[in-house]
Amino acid sequence: MAPIPRAIEEKSSLTLFSAALALPGMLPLAVAAQTAPDQGVIALKYFDYRDWQPGANRMSVRSPSLYVLRPLSDDLALEGTVVYDSMSGASPLAFNTLSGASGLGVTDYRTAGDVKVTKYFDRFALGVGGAYSRERDYISHALSVEARTWTADKNRTFAFGLAGTSDAIHPTDRPIDNGQRRTLDFLVGVTQVMNANAIVQSNITYSAGHGDYSDPYKLLDTRPDHRRTLAWLTRFNQYVSSADATLKLLYRYIHDSFGDHSHTFELAWYQPLPNAFAVTPSLRYYTQSAADFFFGPPFGNGLVPGEPYTADTRLSAFGALTPSIRVDKQFDHGWSADVSFSYYQQRSSWRLGGSGSGGLLPVSARWISIGVAKTF
Amino acid sequence: MRARVGVVQAGLWTLCVLALLATAGCATISPPQPWEKGQLAKREMQFDADPLDAKATQHIYTSKEGAGGGYGIGGGGCGCN
């Protein structure tokens, strides 16, 4: 494998993981609310994330975050989040051979936040949001508008959204080689109350972007200058009265113009326990095909000058499993606390319906979160 | 190794089938009246009831997998993908 210069490899790790715990990115629309909240919420959470490959620890991220929801009037609500990420470690191995500066220490940080104001009317709601994220080499701005409307019985809600994102990329190892990326996102969704104990939601999002998608720190990485992503997500929550529990199911399909189409399945079981405790075990399975321009080891294999090429293993074919467990505890006076643990492993051989990309090491990660919240 | 992969894949298909059966078996469409929505109002019945957890988790997956999306829009970009 061709050696990768130290600066390139070190910075690659920052780019790869810098936003792992950052808040901007996929700000979920509040889907079912048809009236302004009558209570405010303030929540603090601390994430501790680490990933590794066989024989080598990779990246660690520590991330405190804050969420505030505040009713401004009977029909107006404000919500926002702030996060600070502190990262250290090294990039994942590109292939099975330690290369360049992998394994050497790097540090970086990121600050980010988003805010959204929602105005509620009799049969619809309008929201306007903004997001900002800054790290040493990447700045992102986003604006979004959303509209929701519901039937007279409030059992069916339609959601429509439009967002624009402008990203500026400033590689730290070169003074003038800046890049940019522009993205438009569209959302259409429906949430249906099926009965007194079940609710289902289905969203379609379409993302159209153009600009620089190549990783400036990865050797030979050349990706198309545009990307179209269609995602269809369906979620279903069912209260199970016999167990006084809630079953949560999720399925998501993604069609990506890069070629890495994916399926995601999630299953969770929320089980109340005595003394205001609750436990939620869950399992997520993810499988994707490889991008059209991904080539596995040896490095440089399949490279055609002038054609897209990447050895980024995130665009390889693989499957991944995430078992998680979360414990919640309710206290008096609106206080609550939660702790969760998740373990993630990614293997080529776990790809569903076909063999994954060969010659790649598994990637493992675990993250722990501790949170406290107060309604007011 | 191949046998283990087969067991994992069989288990996953079983999980999917069970999930679909649970969905079909439990969910009857009978829209409730306003006074019948007490259970639906509970936190555990909400989607993304914990915004901080949802955003952080989705970002972790976005940084480790090929493409993301579907949950919402407007959060902006990142250097992670």
DSSP structure string for A133-156: EEETTEEEEEEEEEEEEE-TTSSE
- Contact (CB<8Å) A26/B16: no
Judged by average pLDDT, the poorest of A207-211, A323-327, A351-355 is: A351-355
What DSSP letter does each residue of A322-336 carry, written as one string?
EEEEEEEEE-GGGEE
Q: How many CA atoms lie within 13 A of B62 on its CB side?
A: 27
Mean pLDDT of A289-313: 91
Relative to beta strand A41-53, strand A56-73 is antiparallel
Quote the minimal CA–CA distance from B18 to chain A in Å: 10
**For residue A301, what pLDDT is reported?**
86
Examine the pLDDT at A44 and tell me if it is beyond 90. Answer: yes
pLDDT at A290 over 50: yes
CA distance B29 to A196: 9
Contact call for A193 and B70, based on CB within 8 A:
no
DSSP 8-state assignment for residue A60: E
The burial class, CB within 10 Å (0-12 / 13-18 / 19+), for A349 is middle
pLDDT confidence tier of residue A161, bands split at 50, 70 and 90: very high
Domain ranges of chain A: 6-375
Nearest to A237 among B16, B32, B45 (CB): B45
Q: Grade residue A170 by pLDDT with cuts at 50, 70 and 90.
A: confident
pTM for the full predicted model: 0.86
- Identify the weakest region by mean pLDDT among A28-32, A164-168, B40-44: A28-32
CB-neighbour burial class of residue A250 (10 A; exposed 0-12, middle 13-18, buried 19+): buried
Comparison of pLDDT for A90 and A157, the residue scoring more: A157
User: Element (H or E) spanning A337, and its range?
Assistant: strand A335-347
The answer to whether the beta carbons of residues A261 and A255 sit under 8 Å apart is yes
Q: pLDDT of A99-132, one tens digit each? A: 333 344 567 788 999 999 999 999 999 999 999 9
Res A1 pLDDT > 50: no
CA distance A305 to chain B (A): 23
Distance, CA of A211 to CA of A168 (rounded, Å): 10
CA distance A141 to A115: 12
Of A81, A163, A194, the CB nearest to B29: A194
What's the average model confidence in pLDDT over A292-321? 92
CB contact under 8 A, B40 and A256: no
Contact A299, A311 (CB under 8 A): yes
Contacts of A48 (CB under 8 A, 6+ apart): A60, A61, A62, A63, A367, A368, A369
Q: Which residues of B touch A240 (CB under 8 A)?
A: 26
The pLDDT assigned to B66 comes to 92
| Eight-class DSSP state of A291 | P
B74/A146 CB distance under 8 A: yes
Partner-chain residue, chosen from B1, B74, B78, that has the shortest CB–CB distance to A161: B74
pLDDT at A302: 87
pLDDT in tens, A232-277: 999 999 999 999 999 999 999 999 999 999 999 999 999 999 999 9
- Give me the architecture of the A6-375 domain, per CATH: Beta Barrel (2.40)
Using CA atoms, how far apart are residues B24 and B19, in angstroms rounded to an integer?
9
Per-residue pLDDT band at A9 (split at 50, 70, 90): very low
Residue A2 confidence (pLDDT): 36
Residues A201, A147: Cα–Cα separation, whole Å = 16
Calculate the average pLDDT of chain A: 86
Could you tell me the two tokens for A176? 């003038």
Q: What is the ipTM of this complex?
A: 0.87
Rg (CA), chain A: 22
Query: Going by C-beta distance under 8 Å and a sequence separation of 6 or more, which residues neighbour residue A152?
Result: A123
Mean pLDDT lowest among A213-217, A317-321, B26-30: B26-30
Q: Could you count the other beta carbons within 10 Å of the beta carbon of residue A120?
A: 20
Task: State the Cα–Cα distance between residues A142 and A344, nearest whole angstrom.
Answer: 29
Distance from CA of B51 to the nearest CA of A (A): 8
Pairwise CB contact (< 8 Å): B66 & A256: yes
Best of A10, A15, A27 to mutate (most B CBs within 10 Å, chain B): A27
Q: Which residues of B40-66 are buried (b: 16+ CB within 10 A; e: fewer)?
A: beeebbbbbebbbbbbbbbbbbbbbbb
What per-residue confidence (pLDDT) applies to B12?
A: 57
Write down the pLDDT at residue A319. 96
